[in-house]
């Protein structure tokens, strides 16, 4: 039970997130504020934003293990670093997808031609920055697979991981806020109210923070399974 309690918590939090996010039972406690334009789509906050928070936590764990490898040359740290990066990329893609779906409902101007609205979405700095950040992490995986020597692979990819992490926060949080943007909180986003978490409705806080924890625990769970599989493969190769 000591090894499973956090997995049970993970499942419970995600069930709670989906129940509240989709308002399955139409409970008043899960009602959301009727903010103009966003309306019911604000429920995507529990998925899109929380998944990206989880992505950043997973990438943070990955870079910590990369630094640990550079300090102790323990290949287990390298394996942990890689697997957390892989799961972080998956959560980043899910966050990107849910964000794109959200944008298609809130950023499309019915008074403009479809190609104009979607062209504005395609030029959105937040989406471009997130896309570049994910491509940098994809390059991290390609770099690893291009090197055959195990120690050299681990050392070079650990250094690259630090570079990728250093670019992550500016590309997602800083640079897009300095440019004209449709995204809430960005310059020129008058039509899309910013979501100030300090002013988040109390009943949304009751879902938002547990959702971040639930998605993060799921990511850790997946990563630990991938690490165990990788260690089994490593032992099999050594024995053979």
Domain contains 69? yes
Model confidence pLDDT, tens digit, residues 81-102: 999 999 999 999 999 889 888 8
- Cα 71 to Cα 74, 79, 129, 140, 159: the distances in Å are 8, 15, 31, 20, 12
Residue corresponding to tokens 């920055």? 129
Mean of per-residue pLDDT scores for the chain = 84
User: So what's the pLDDT on residue 185?
Assistant: 53
Domain contains 12? yes
Domain ranges, residue 42: 5-26+36-239
Domain contains 77? yes
Q: Please determine, for residue 191, whether its predicted confidence score (pLDDT) is greater than 50.
A: no
Model confidence pLDDT, tens digit, residues 143-159: 999 998 989 999 999 99
Overall domain count for the chain? 1
Q: What is the mean pLDDT of residues 131-145?
A: 93
User: So what's the pLDDT on residue 190?
Assistant: 47
Residue corresponding to tokens 């165990």? 228
Q: What is the mean pLDDT of residues 174-182?
A: 68
Residue 109 CA to residue 99 CA, distance in Å, equals 17
- Do 80 and 64 contact (CB within 8 A), yes or no? no
Domain contains 186? yes
In this structure, the number of other CB atoms found within 10 A of the CB of residue 164 comes to: 24
Domain contains 31? no
Torsion angle, CA of 145/147/148/154, rounded to 10 degrees?
-90
Residue 152 CA to residue 149 CA, distance in Å, equals 5
Domain contains 219? yes
User: So what's the pLDDT on residue 189?
Assistant: 46
Tell me the pTM: 0.87
């Amino acid at each position: 039970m000591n090894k499973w309690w956090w997995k049970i918590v993970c499942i419970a939090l995600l069930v709670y997130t989906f129940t509240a996010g989709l308002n399955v039972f139409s409970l008043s406690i899960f009602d959301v504020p009727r903010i103009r334009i966003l309306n019911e789509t604000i429920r995507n906050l529990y998925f899109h934003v929380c998944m990206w928070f989880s992505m950043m936590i997973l990438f943070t764990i990955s870079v910590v293990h990369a630094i640990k490898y550079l300090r102790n040359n323990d290949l287990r740290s390298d394996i942990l670093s890689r697997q957390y990066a892989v799961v972080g990329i998956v959560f980043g893609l899910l966050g990107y997808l849910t964000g794109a779906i959200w944008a298609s409902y809130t950023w499309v101007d019915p008074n403009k031609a479809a190609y104009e609205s979607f062209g504005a979405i395609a030029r959105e700095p937040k989406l471009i920055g997130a896309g570049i950040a994910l491509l940098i992490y994809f390059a991290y995986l390609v770099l690893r697979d291009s090197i055959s020597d195990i120690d050299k692979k681990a050392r070079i990819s650990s250094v690259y991981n630090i570079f990728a992490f250093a670019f992550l926060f500016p590309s997602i949080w800083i640079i897009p806020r300095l440019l004209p943007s449709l995204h809430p909180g960005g310059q020129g986003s008058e039509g899309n109210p910013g979501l100030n978490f300090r002013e988040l409705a109390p009943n949304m806080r009751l879902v938002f923070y547990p959702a971040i924890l639930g998605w993060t625990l799921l990511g850790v769970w997946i990563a630990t399974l991938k690490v165990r599989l990788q260690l089994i493969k490593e032992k099999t190769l050594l024995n053979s």
